[in-house]
Amino acid sequence: MSLTEPFRKIIHVDMDAFYASVEQQDHPELKGKAIAVGGNEIRGVVSAASYEARKYGVKSAMSGALAKKYCPDLVFLKPRFSRYKEISSIIKQIFYEYTDLVEPLSLDEAYLDVTENKKGNPSATLLAQEIRHQIYEKTGLTASAGISINKFIAKVASDYNKPNGQKTVNPEEVLGFLEELDIRKFHGIGKVTAQKMYALGVFSGKDLKLKSIDYLEAHFGKNGSYYYNVVRGIHNSPVKSERKPKSVGAERTFETNLSSEIFMIERLKQISDELEHRIKKVNIAGRTLTLKIKYSDFNMQTRSKTLPYFISDKSLILATAKELLFQEKLENSVRLLGISLSNLNTQSPSSQKIEKEKVSVQLRIAF
């Protein structure tokens, strides 16, 4: 889709600090306090942090020890995924009252295509307000939303007025919005890529737009065409009501670091059992097995092997994982092991068309 074609109306709904907010909702004594879901002050990793904790710099994927250092009064809570799934199910039911084109990204966020919707309302902005109000009425939790012509812009917009807010980027505003956008705000550009862009003199969407597709592909490989397109408002990925997983995995963080490979094999058996349960539950198999190793110094290493056949049985998963474990000497004691299967039998080849058309904004639409 180019900006001269009829536009879709996409809403990206993102729950505000979901896991932490659920805990505060279920335990009123925690409201207003800095809490972290997951990890503890000695080890482990934070899965989610309340907004009170974020003020101190606590964020997801941070070690519990560092989080405690940043926020001495931080309260750690064990995750309750069954409860989060329960609340997520209520939220999804609300989404389906508006459209069947719902693409969940996780328990706490989803894309909705409301171009044609069950309410017959032409305003995606008003629909997003209704959805957020319904979520609050039925769960007591707040959500933020982004509304625009495609998934990329909607996702970027949903971060603008967090928490408990929304932002609409109308079709005629798209190019100006993207030109003014800090490169760090572009979905798909992480810290490492942002630093590389800074070094190349690219700080904003306007700077990025000045670079040719050949230049971007030379510096960023296949991602170059993605950057070239999205800064021009071109992102053709439709909202998919059934997302096929690209990989399935399971992992364990240990209470004490492991130095003996014998003990590691015991843990790999447990992880293989869990992974088998997960993949057979959805009736899939994979050809590429990846062993994830996180050392006591937090360095990460992955080792992968692609087989000539699909596997889903725990004995084959374990045998391949053991082979990868003994593939080379371990660098240090180990705090986490994980196994994942990719190259799944659910995937089909696809190609992406690189669009180099000149874009003009001509069509206005009710948002």
Residues with active-site annotation: 109
Contact between 366 and 115 (Cβ < 8 Å): no
CB environment 208-238: b (16+ within 10 A), e (fewer): beebeeeebbebbeeebbbbbbbbbbbbeee
Dist CA 236 CA 229 (whole Å): 10
- Phi and psi (nearest 5°) for 78? -75, 140
CA atoms within 13 A on the CB side of 90: 16
**What single-letter amino acid sits at 31?**
K
* 183, 203 contact by CB (below 8 A): yes
The Cα 80–Cα 23 span in angstroms is: 9
Contacting residues for 105 by C-beta, under 8 A, at least 6 apart: 111, 243
Cα 338 from chain centre: 19
End-to-end CA separation in angstroms for the chain: 18
Q: Smallest Cα–Cα separation from 209: which of 359, 353, 352?
A: 359
CA distances for 156 relative to 5, 168, 181, 231, 351, angstroms: 22, 10, 9, 12, 25
Tokens in use for 216? Answer: 């971007």
Looking up tokens 């190609």 gives 351
Query: Which H or E run includes 113?
Result: strand 109-113
344 to 268, 328, 352: CA distances (angstroms): 21, 26, 20
Rounded CA-CA distance 169/156 in Å is 10
Pairing status of strand 75-77 against strand 48-49: unpaired
Q: Residue 338 is which amino acid?
A: G
